[in-house]
Amino acid sequence: VVAGPWLRAELQSSGHDFLVDAQPSRRIPERVRAPYSGVRAALAARATFGDADCWMIALGSNDLVFGGGDAPAANDLLDEMLGAVSPGASVWWVNVNYHRDPRTRFDFVAATATFNTVLGERAAGNPDLHVIDWFTLSEANPDWFFDPVHVDRSASIVRAEFTVAALPPAR
Mean pLDDT of 133-145: 97
Q: How far apart are CA 17 and CA 120, in angstroms?
A: 27
DSSP state of 27: B
**Residue 2: pLDDT band with limits 50, 70, 90:** low
Alpha helices in 14-103 (DSSP H): 38-49, 71-84
State the Rg of the chain over Cα. Answer: 15
pLDDT digits (tens, 9 = 90+) for 37-95: 999 999 999 999 999 999 999 999 999 999 999 999 999 999 999 999 999 999 999 99
Please check the confidence at residue 105 and state whether its pLDDT lies above 90.
yes
Q: How far apart are CA 33 and CA 35, in angstroms?
A: 6
Please check the confidence at residue 151 and state whether its pLDDT lies above 90.
yes
Task: Please provide the average confidence, as pLDDT, over all residues in the chain.
Answer: 96
User: Whole-prediction pTM value?
Assistant: 0.95
Residue ranges of E strands in the chain: 54-57, 90-94, 129-132
**Residue 102: pLDDT band with limits 50, 70, 90:** very high
